Structure 1
């Protein structure tokens, strides 16, 4: 019933609309036609049928401007391509229900806005890339980056491992080359020492490896000395970072000989020879050189060491006696130093050496390559030469008196320093004890403090009272 009523109203509205616009078109052919009369006729027709215009609502269809299109409205406004849904069937057409009565027809469906298209399709443009393709490309980029980092880290690890074994082998070959040149049968140390190596017996190893960069050699069985210890400190070739650092800041492989002299074999001698820059550092840092010795100027009238070297001694007499013609000719002279002394660093003789062994000879040389180990033959020969020279050397009476005076003064200063250190330690201990007592008193309660003060006053009063002697009456 409602459906037929709906169609009846629809046909009625079409008829009224057609008649009204036909009337207007027919009247427009007469002369003296005025637009105002047209509006009046339209208002009268609308008032005659009591049809009120509905409120204007927003619609997706465009407003009809052509009168001919209004006379033939589309009975099926829904597009044929779209499948009509229930909401679309209930939605009235803007053209069909241009004039309808809200009061008379209740229950009509409320006009709903058209469904909004999906945001992805609305915002998508033909030029936008496919999200799946973009995600795949990003994954490929990330995977490439991760693979790059892994390849770099793996390559560095492989290079590090290879460098570790090659550097380790290089240091071992260098130490063995030195031992083969100077510590095997028929070498200089074999001729001057009766026992070579770190153990007893013929099969004992010559070198003791204390790390990848430290190798030690020990020799004993010689007059004037208890023994000799040679320590080779090599570059950290096994460490890739250290190897790269050494390319920027070059350093040398070094060997240090420490000769422990017998107490009765060495007189009061403090003497050193080093390159000028190293000599200044030694005089400031080494205690015995700082306290007893000073730089010795080049003496006139005799040969002396090359200008690249400096001599530090307690007296000119000691320096002149220890810089012999043989040493100048073999190593420290102008002609020999350029060829045989280029690996020389320093040598230091002292009877006031700090440590367990007071009387020591210390030689420090740079190690050449394994293939050029013969270049330091004359430098190594200085070790047994000076052992014999220092063992036989005796100071003159005048030089001895000066050295003894200096040593007595140094001993007194050392004793004063020791006493001052002890006093400071005692004062520090007393201060700490006093501080602990004050902290303990601060923690005591007021009642405990009052009792302790009362006890102290009673003790003081008892101490101040006169003593009375009681006798027994007969």
Structure 2
């Protein structure tokens, strides 16, 4: 009996122990399952990365049945009925499987049925998906990455402008110094050829240069392309001023412009004649096109001179040249045989006259000095400066020729009459100009008086009118002479 009762007791104890283990295990599993609903953090498995939650996929939270003691909502009970589900499926259109969000374990971390039961469900705002171009393909690059080449191209353009500007500045600086040196070399080459010892000007003038000292400079530099030379100490003239106007080689823009519109270096000579040395002479010699322009622009040529037709009895200048003179006598006397043979003849001009531009002699030159001789020549390059020797020799030659020249009585009478007529016309022009100035001054004064009267008050105007009336009455009264009676 004792052994049988002991075995029953052991069996009961073993059964109770097994029941306790089973109930304990079931309760532990229930606690793990409820950790998703009661705010407990589930333990993540090692090596498994947490999945990111897409707000667009959360259509509505899944409805689960809680084990809490709170009674369920009637709607939830009805929804658990399979017949109701079938009716609901008939009323609502079916959605494709792609629109149904997949439920994951992580989606339950944001939902607590017991805590949010009966509250309206708030859906997160759906982000706007960027519109894709119609012609876009899956292989098209990202728009952000596509903008990078445009930025690189823009930066290259900005650097290109800076490089171009920097290159132009460097070229401008280099051209400035090289052009300046070229002009200086050209001017010094001319001075070495014609203004040094045993040269033309050294033989015909006593003083050369801008100073009296022996070491005074021969040339005076007034600009990067303007050089002047002065000489004095010769009969019939007060002095000579030579001005070299060279190309603006130091200016890059001017140099480029000269490539399109070519121009030449020029030198002009101004000889200031003595008042008693030069007779009434007006004469000009230039190329045909330039001669017409000179006659229209120069006041003395326009008033006194005219084009001279070539004579048939003697040699004359080359066909390319035109002569403008006050009379044929003056033109024939100044164009001598020596000049025709040396420079202005047909054969000589082809060889030595390529640098000739113009000559102009006048005793009615507009300006402070009336009697002047003007010469204008083109300058050759440094290596061919000696080609203009015969042209430069014309300067001292014509100083002596014009200084000794005297008009005939017949030519003088014509020139005197022309100058008298010109003086009368000039006097009339001066008088008309004075009259115009006086009329203008009177008109301005009257205008000022009218403006001042307009500003006066009515009382002042009345007093002024009364004074003017009294003055007129006094002026109209007869004058009576009083005599003393004896």
Q: TM-score, length-normalised on structure 1?
A: 0.80
1:341 aligns with: 353
1:362 aligns with 2:374: yes
The equivalences for 1:418-457 within 5 A come to 418-457=430-469
* Cα distance, 1:83 vs structure 2: 2.4
The equivalences for 1:160-171 within 5 A come to 160-171=172-183
Q: Distance in 2 between matches of 1:2 and 1:454?
A: 123
1:238 aligns with 2:304: no
Q: TM-score, length-normalised on structure 2?
A: 0.78
Q: 1:109 to 1:434 in 2, by over 3 A?
A: same
Q: 1:90 to 1:457 in 2, by over 3 A?
A: farther
Q: Distance in 1 between matches of 2:311 and 2:166?
A: 63
* Cα distance, 1:369 vs structure 2: 0.4
1:269 aligns with 2:281: yes
**2:95 aligned to which of 62, 78, 84:** 62
* Cα distance, 1:224 vs structure 2: 0.8
What secondary structure is seen at the aligned counterpart in 2 of 1:302?
Answer: coil
1:80 aligns with 2:104: yes
State whether residues 257 and 362 of structure 1, in contact with CA within 8 Å, keep that contact through their aligned partners in structure 2.
yes
Q: Distance in 2 between matches of 1:122 and 1:276?
A: 77
1:396 aligns with 2:429: no
Q: Distance in 1 between matches of 2:454 and 2:109?
A: 92
1:116 aligns with: 126
Can you give the 5+ residue segments of structure 2 that lack an aligned partner in the other structure? 1-66
Q: 1:129 to 1:443 in 2, by over 3 A?
A: farther
What secondary structure is seen at the aligned counterpart in 2 of 1:263?
Answer: coil
Q: Distance in 1 between matches of 2:114 and 2:431?
A: 114
Q: Distance in 1 between matches of 2:119 and 2:102?
A: 16
The equivalences for 1:197-236 within 5 A come to 197-236=209-248
* Cα distance, 1:141 vs structure 2: 2.1
1:47-71 Cα offsets, whole Å, 9 max, x none, are xxxxxx89x78x9x7299xxxxxxx
Name the count of aligned residue pairs.
416
State whether residues 275 and 310 of structure 1, in contact with CA within 8 Å, keep that contact through their aligned partners in structure 2.
yes
Q: 1:84 to 1:126 in 2, by over 3 A?
A: farther
* Cα distance, 1:392 vs structure 2: 1.1
**1:177 aligned to which of 179, 182, 189:** 189
Q: Distance in 1 between matches of 2:245 and 2:177?
A: 18
RMSD over equivalenced CA pairs, Å? 3.3
State whether residues 198 and 208 of structure 1, in contact with CA within 8 Å, keep that contact through their aligned partners in structure 2.
yes
Q: 1:319 to 1:472 in 2, by over 3 A?
A: closer
1:163-186 Cα offsets, whole Å, 9 max, x none, are 111111111110000000000001
2:424 aligns with: 412
1:380 aligns with: 392
Q: Distance in 1 between matches of 2:82 and 2:379?
A: 122
Q: Distance in 2 between matches of 1:222 and 1:230?
A: 15
* Cα distance, 1:451 vs structure 2: 2.0
* Cα distance, 1:366 vs structure 2: 0.5
What secondary structure is seen at the aligned counterpart in 2 of 1:6?
Answer: coil
- Compare 453-462 and 367-376 and name the one that shifted more: 453-462
1:195 aligns with: 207
* Cα distance, 1:200 vs structure 2: 1.0
Q: Distance in 1 between matches of 2:262 and 2:241?
A: 26
What secondary structure is seen at the aligned counterpart in 2 of 1:353?
Answer: coil
Q: Distance in 2 between matches of 1:3 and 1:410?
A: 136
Q: Distance in 2 between matches of 1:217 and 1:16?
A: 123
1:14 aligns with: 80
- Compare 108-117 and 349-358 and name the one that shifted more: 108-117
Q: Distance in 2 between matches of 1:13 and 1:280?
A: 116
Q: Distance in 1 between matches of 2:321 and 2:198?
A: 32
* Cα distance, 1:77 vs structure 2: 8.6
Q: Distance in 1 between matches of 2:183 and 2:446?
A: 58
Q: Distance in 1 between matches of 2:454 and 2:266?
A: 61
Q: 1:156 to 1:89 in 2, by over 3 A?
A: farther
What secondary structure is seen at the aligned counterpart in 1 of 2:72?
Answer: helix
Q: Distance in 1 between matches of 2:484 and 2:333?
A: 92
